[in-house]
Chains A and B, each alone.
Chain A
Amino acid sequence: MKIFQQQTDFDYSWEEVSTANWRKYGPWNEKTPHVIAVDTLSRTVDPATGILRTERLITCQQSAPKWVTSILGGSETSLVYETSYVDPTEKKVTMCSMNMTYSDLISVRETCTYSPSSASPHAKTTFQQRAEITAFCGGWQKIKNSIEQFTVDRFQQNAAKGKEGFEMVLERARQVFSEQRDLIRLQQDSKILQQARI
């Protein structure tokens, strides 16, 4: 098993980050074109804890190189199962994901959290990511190691891209939100606009 871990801060409040997180793989993010679809399978609020639990299915374009697909077998898309837990009182988002494709051969389990940064809890949000990668190709230690190492390297390469892409979404969300606020204010102030009911 190999482990990948990282931590980074976003200069946005936890409320902004946790909201924009639902749009993370949408059209505002130009850095994750490999994510083709994000489907919500179920969503419930636990009456005892107030925690919002969401199950999603994430469809990605396969991007593994030839030497990997020749070992694991080829497939055009790969599927990821994700459950997330939002605790609005503690202000914590936890996302757990695992691969559904190739799951007999490799296990990639990732846990990410978003919580208010301890240094400036109202203005910044800390993102923590941890992934555990285990390949199971019986006996072939060398192949197992190279597949695990390749996957860890991919996590490393994607970490920067992931942050850059999410920054785009956060910036856009803040912009849209302030435009909406301006429009509402304008509407409230203007009789003509009120009558026009925009």
Chain B
Amino acid sequence: MSASLAPECNEVKERYDNCFLKWYSEKFLRGTSTSDECEPLFKQYEQCLTKALRARGIDSMLKDAREDNRDNDAEHMKPRR
């Protein structure tokens, strides 16, 4: 898997990525996922990453990007008829 932009987050990121890939191929695609078993690892990774994004001033840029992306969410998350 790919590295994190924050080297200090690489280790926990790798653990999360591996967990996710296993869940994705073995459960999500087969329609048998009931819970997000990778959530605890994601929380650890997120904590590390959030700190790094704030330190680099990327958090405010992200806010704008999220704002601009609203149309995509509306288009691609809409319920099937």
Binding site for B on A (CB under 8 A): 15, 18-19, 22-23, 25-26, 35-43, 45-46, 48-49, 51-53, 55, 57, 59, 79, 81, 83, 85-86, 88-90, 94, 96, 98, 100, 103, 111
**Interface class of chain A by DSSP:** strand
The 3 A-B residue pairs with the shortest CB-CB distance in the complex, in nearest-first order: A81-B65, A38-B2, A37-B5
User: CB-CB < 8 A to B25: which residues of A?
Assistant: 15, 19
Total of A-B residue pairs, C-beta within 8 Å: 100
Contact A19 B69 (CB under 8 A): no
Contact between chains at A49 and B79 (CB < 8 Å): yes
Interface size on B, residues (CB 8 A): 39
Query: Do residues B29 and A79 form an inter-chain contact, with CB atoms below 8 A?
Result: no
Indicate whether B47 reaches chain A with its CB closer than 8 angstroms.
Answer: no
Q: In the complex, are the beta carbons of B21 and A85 less than 8 A apart?
A: no
Q: Which residues of B contact A111 (CB under 8 A)?
A: 72
How long is the Cα–Cα vector from A45 to B53 in the complex, in angstroms?
Answer: 24
User: Which interface residue of A15, A81, A98 has the most chain B CB atoms within 10 A?
Assistant: A81
Write 17 A-B pairs (CB below 8 A) sorted by A numbering. Answer: A15-B29, A22-B1, A22-B24, A23-B1, A37-B3, A40-B13, A40-B16, A40-B45, A49-B78, A59-B5, A83-B69, A83-B72, A96-B76, A100-B61, A103-B64, A103-B65, A111-B72
